[in-house]
Amino acid sequence: MTRTLVVAGHGMVGHRLVAELRAADTEGTWRVVVLGEEPRPAYDRVALTSYVDGWDAQALDLGAHTGVELRLGDPVVAVDREARTVTTASGHTETYDALVLATGSKPFVPPVPGHDLPGCFVYRTIEDLDAIREAVENAKARKRGRAAAMVVGGGLLGLEAAKALRDMGLSPHVVEMAPRLMPIQVDDGGGNLLRKLVTELDLTVHTGTSAAKIEPDGDRLTASLTNGTELDLDLIVFSAGVRPRDELARAAGLAVGERGGVLVDSACRTSDPAIWAIGECAAVEGRCYGLVAPGYTMAELVAGQLLGKDGEFPGADLSTKLKLMGVDVASFGDAHAATEGALEVVLADAVSGYYKKLVVSPDGVLLGGILVGDASAYNLLRPLVGSPLPADPAAMLAPEGASGSVGVDALPDEAGICSCNNVTKGAITEAIRTQGCDSVAAIKGCTRAGTTCGSCVPMLSKLLDACGVVQSKAVCEHFTHSRRELFEIIKATRITTFGELIAKHGTGTGCAICKPAVASILATIGTTERDGVHVLDGELASLQDTNDHFLANMQRNGTYSVVPRIAGGEITPAKLKVIAEVAEEFGLYTKITGGQRIDMFGATVDQLPHIWKRLVDAGMESGHAYGKSLRTVKSCVGSTWCRYGVQDSVGMAVELELRYRGLRSPHKLKAGVSGCARECAEARGKDFGVIATEKGWNLYVGGNGGTFPRHAELLVSDVDSESLIRYIDRFIMFYVRTADRLQRTAPWIEEMEGGLDHLREVIVDDKLGICEELDAAMAKHVENYADEWRGVLEDPEKLARFTSFVNAPGAPDPTISFSAEREQKVPVLLGVPEVVSR
């Protein structure tokens, strides 16, 4: 007989319960109904702050369930224990055999006068962040200097919120009642350093005080603190702790904890045997847990009980690590040395900016610790809590990789590696040894380790190494070789087709991963060692990703964008005019890109050759926005016009862009040239960046933007133009030959044995004796360069491919349509697609 489980709340813990039950209930003994208050399915609240990076809610998705009735945006408002029913706000009623409360908690807002004025926010849901974002935008639109915000609460969450506000361009004030930041996790020593570090991040810290009142001031707010400080603000975010949402339980007459929370026993059962409570709303034997890992443990425990398995809540690891980029803070175990007889070992250096403390028992067992400024030892230390320290405390605190530091080998099997999902070292090594997990992805699939906050992923990789697993660099299932090895093979054997390569060195017919990778290698070798090759010549055409196949970037509705090269960002009015005319004539959306050029969107396949004919006739050429190849060399205006400039940065940028254009590489390559140290071209955010000096140029390598921004590092300084170009030639050729598929220059250098120093030895000191060859290869590339679009326009066979329908050339694609926004066109996606239901 099927019974009905009703879950109130679809947050992280409710989601885990349902996922766990559905996976284990193979017989289908439970019908599962989830009633959630938020308008969307559960998402990764732990990663909420990352939402501000792209405002992409999809990125926080926790994965959909199958076989679950999900009713969202409709909270449970009453529980009738007699009748075993719950009723929602909309009046919907469900009868349950088992009810699980997973209602989480709500932010605590101190009852300061004015706390409910417009401009006051909390920080818990995607909707909260959307509201904050809107307020920030409104504040910026009012343009009164830099917008300011106050965050009430200097704990873990308050600092996260402050960092998010700073990233949105505000100057945040953090107000904490306790005498130090993160009072629960760190001690005074750690707190002092933490304050210094976050102040450097542009936060203003007020400790030992609190908000006394908030008053409106036109469209802004004024906050008065108890120490007399007055702050002029655009918005306020309360992050002063949370309160369990036990209101349903209270109304239904269930017992609640002394400090709130639905009171449950060690099996998470409430005073009513048909009702459980899990996650932040539960007070397990009177104690609430504000972290996700204990909630997941409770979810797994209750899923087990619903299927007839007994169990008990084992207590929880309350370790925490602040997730702010740039400020390392971690605290674990008995951080405040509360254990009788505990000893503290402190290592602090205010100049280098770290504070590290270990708490040990008199017989050398690690009890806990605090790390501020450098938390690299956290991953290793946290799992060791409860075990004797395997080495001298000072060695344990040395940065990872430093001599004397201790490796994963030292951890006992029972050491927890993934605290979010309670996975031990033993369970992971077991999965590696007996279940054949040979990659981080496989371990994630098998054990769930690494799937929540991700902070344990480096440890997973180390455990694979420690188990002797050589992590595969194979390109895909068709080749056991890495990209670098394929490059060597193709170069040495002079193989010129994918067909021959896969027949001799691979298996099967290839796929969407290996084909473009090999196409790129064949193109690079074709232009740097032979007489040049067009990326759409012969078999190469069949290997290219769609963008390369049509020499344009496909957009979400199947149309393309067109980006002519505008080297160094320099363009004549005449060419600007041609771009404007072409865009008007073909009805294209136009936008200035982040790479100092102009992108025209919304061209159909059929239009591409006609558009390019116009551009090529006007002296323009492909900008390779579609290729894994050189994109742009950004420039600042430099010495020609700028009063500070010391070299001609535009001239150099144009020269570099024209030199390297078209070269196919493992990933895209970007560069910048600035005319002086003010760095207006943001050259250090590029794969190679050049900054002018009084004496010549400084060359920096290995920078990028993107998800993990990196600053490029100095390779050589004060070199003349000729040497600069020689070093860049070698840098690029060495990268193109040896990097992995889709590896930008920063991770390539990082992975290189010897790192930047080794790179310098190779391309400056010629330690490997390959410089002559690298120089010759680049010279050949420069000599062979030809515009790809001109190549298409001159070849009827290639041109014929630019059509929507082979059987109806010239017929427009009927699925493409546009609407208008801000006076330009934008794509409209198809309604219901042609899907066969299964």
Partner 1 sequence: MTTMQTRTVVVCELARLIPGRGVAALLPDGRQVAIFLTASGDLYGLSNIDPFARAAVLSRGLVGDVGGAPFVASPLLKQRFDLRTGVCLDDESVAIRTYEVHVADGVVHVNP
Ligand X SMILES: Cc1cc2nc3c(=O)[nH]c(=O)nc-3n(C[C@H](O)[C@H](O)[C@H](O)COP(=O)(O)OP(=O)(O)OC[C@H]3O[C@@H](n4cnc5c(N)ncnc54)[C@H](O)[C@@H]3O)c2cc1C
**Binding site as annotated, residues for siroheme:** 680
Minimum Å gap between C-beta 393 and ligand FES is: 24
Dihedral of CA 636/642/648/650: which sign?
positive
What does residue 634 show for φ and ψ, rounded to 5 degrees?
-75, 150
Minimum Å gap between C-beta 707 and partner 1 is: 17
How many chain residues bind ligand SRM (CB under 6 A)?
20
Nearest to ligand FES of 43, 601 (CB atom): 43
The CA-based diameter of the chain, rounded to the nearest angstrom, is 87
Contact 15, 32 (CB under 8 A): no
The reply on whether position 673 binds ligand SF4 by CB under 6 A is no
Stretch 313-332 residues interacting with ligand X (CB under 6 A):
323
Minimum Å gap between C-beta 591 and ligand FES is: 38
Contact 107, 238 (CB under 8 A): yes
Give the nearest residue (CB) to ligand SRM.
706
Euclidean distance between CA atoms 104 and 703, whole angstroms: 41
Nearest to ligand FES of 378, 748 (CB atom): 378
Stretch 509-568 residues interacting with ligand SRM (CB under 6 A):
553, 555, 561, 563
- Grouping H, G, I as helix, E, B as strand and the rest as coil, residue 474 is coil
Pattern of binders to ligand SF4 over 707-746, x per CB under 6 A? ----------------------------------------
The reply on whether position 154 binds ligand X by CB under 6 A is no
Partner in contact with 644, chosen from partner 1, ligand SRM, ligand SF4, none, beta carbon below 5 to 8 Å by kind: ligand SF4
- Grouping H, G, I as helix, E, B as strand and the rest as coil, residue 750 is helix
Partner in contact with 510, chosen from ligand SRM, ligand X, ligand FES, none, beta carbon below 5 to 8 Å by kind: none
The reply on whether position 46 binds ligand X by CB under 6 A is yes
Number of other residues whose CB lies within 10 A of the CB of residue 396: 24
The reply on whether position 645 binds ligand SF4 by CB under 6 A is yes
Out of 125, 379, 607, 704, the only residue in the binding site for ligand SRM (CB under 6 A) is 704
Contact 124, 32 (CB under 8 A): no
Based on its alpha-carbon atoms, the radius of gyration of the chain, rounded to whole angstroms, reads 30
List, in sequence order, the alpha helices (H) in 168-291.
188-200, 247-251
Contact 694, 709 (CB under 8 A): no
The reply on whether position 124 binds ligand X by CB under 6 A is yes
Q: Is 527 exposed, middle or buried (0-12, 13-18, 19+ CB in 10 A)?
A: buried
Partner in contact with 37, chosen from ligand X, ligand SRM, ligand FES, none, beta carbon below 5 to 8 Å by kind: ligand X
Exposure b/e, 136-166, CB count within 10 A at least 16 = b: beebeeeeeeebbbbbbbbbbbbbbbbbbbb
Contact 242, 106 (CB under 8 A): yes
Binding site, by residue number, is 636, 642, 676, 680
Nearest to ligand FES of 419, 745 (CB atom): 419
Partner in contact with 335, chosen from ligand SF4, partner 1, ligand FES, none, beta carbon below 5 to 8 Å by kind: none
The reply on whether position 416 binds ligand X by CB under 6 A is no
What residues contact 72, with CB distance under 8 A and at least 6 apart?
10, 36, 38, 39, 40, 41
The reply on whether position 103 binds ligand X by CB under 6 A is yes
Partner in contact with 594, chosen from ligand SRM, ligand SF4, partner 1, none, beta carbon below 5 to 8 Å by kind: ligand SRM
Nearest to ligand SRM of 6, 563 (CB atom): 563
Euclidean distance between CA atoms 674 and 684, whole angstroms: 9
Residue of 150, 154, 152, 151 whose CA lies nearest to 185: 154
Residue of 318, 271, 259 whose CA lies nearest to 101: 271
Indicate left, alpha or beta for 276 from its phi (over 0: left) and psi (-120 to 50: alpha).
beta
**How many residues are given for the chain?**
838
Stretch of residues binding ligand SRM (CB under 6 A), selected from 135-143, 148-156, 217-225, 588-596: 588-596
Minimum Å gap between C-beta 570 and ligand SF4 is: 13
Partner in contact with 11, chosen from ligand SF4, ligand X, ligand FES, none, beta carbon below 5 to 8 Å by kind: ligand X
Q: Could you tell me the two tokens for 212?
A: 């006394």
Nearest to partner 1 of 163, 478 (CB atom): 478
Stretch of residues binding ligand SF4 (CB under 6 A), selected from 419-427, 651-659, 676-684, 693-701: 676-684
Minimum Å gap between C-beta 478 and partner 1 is: 8
Cβ-defined contacts of 623-626 (< 8 Å, 24+): 623/563, 623/564, 623/565, 623/566, 623/597, 624/565, 624/661, 624/662, 624/788, 625/552, 625/553, 625/561, 625/563, 625/593, 625/599, 626/547, 626/548, 626/550, 626/551, 626/552, 626/553
Nearest to ligand SRM of 726, 741 (CB atom): 741
- Grouping H, G, I as helix, E, B as strand and the rest as coil, residue 234 is coil
Q: Could you tell me the two tokens for 303?
A: 């899923």
Dihedral of CA 437/435/314/381: which sign?
negative
The reply on whether position 631 binds ligand SRM by CB under 6 A is yes
Partner in contact with 402, chosen from ligand SRM, partner 1, ligand X, none, beta carbon below 5 to 8 Å by kind: none
Euclidean distance between CA atoms 726 and 337, whole angstroms: 58
Out of 261, 393, 569, 595, the only residue in the binding site for ligand SRM (CB under 6 A) is 595
The reply on whether position 424 binds ligand SF4 by CB under 6 A is no
Judging by DSSP bridges, how do beta strands 688-692 and 669-674 pair with one another?
parallel
Binding site for [4Fe-4S] cluster, by residue number, is 636, 642, 676, 680
What does residue 643 show for φ and ψ, rounded to 5 degrees?
-65, -20
Out of 155, 190, 279, 689, the only residue in the binding site for ligand X (CB under 6 A) is 279
* Tokens 């080749």, located at residue: 479
Partner in contact with 453, chosen from ligand SRM, ligand FES, ligand SF4, none, beta carbon below 5 to 8 Å by kind: ligand FES
Minimum Å gap between C-beta 296 and ligand X is: 9
Nearest to ligand X of 100, 563 (CB atom): 100
Stretch of residues binding ligand SF4 (CB under 6 A), selected from 10-18, 261-269, 605-613, 631-639: 631-639
Would you tell me which residues interact with ligand FES (CB under 6 A)? 418-421, 449-456
Would you tell me which residues interact with partner 1 (CB under 8 A)? 66, 477-478, 499, 508-516, 541-543, 545-547, 549-550, 554, 556-558, 605, 800, 804-808, 811, 813-816, 829-831, 833-838
DSSP notation for 173-206: EEEESSSSSSTTT--HHHHHHHHHHHHHTT-EEE
Q: Interface residues with ligand SRM (CB under 6 A)? A: 553, 555, 561, 563, 591, 593-595, 597, 599, 625, 631-632, 668, 670, 704-707, 744
Q: Interface residues with ligand SF4 (CB under 6 A)? A: 636-638, 642, 644-645, 649, 674-676, 678-680
Q: Interface residues with ligand X (CB under 6 A)? A: 8-14, 35-38, 45-46, 48-49, 75-76, 102-104, 123-124, 157, 160, 245, 248, 279-280, 290-293, 295, 323, 453
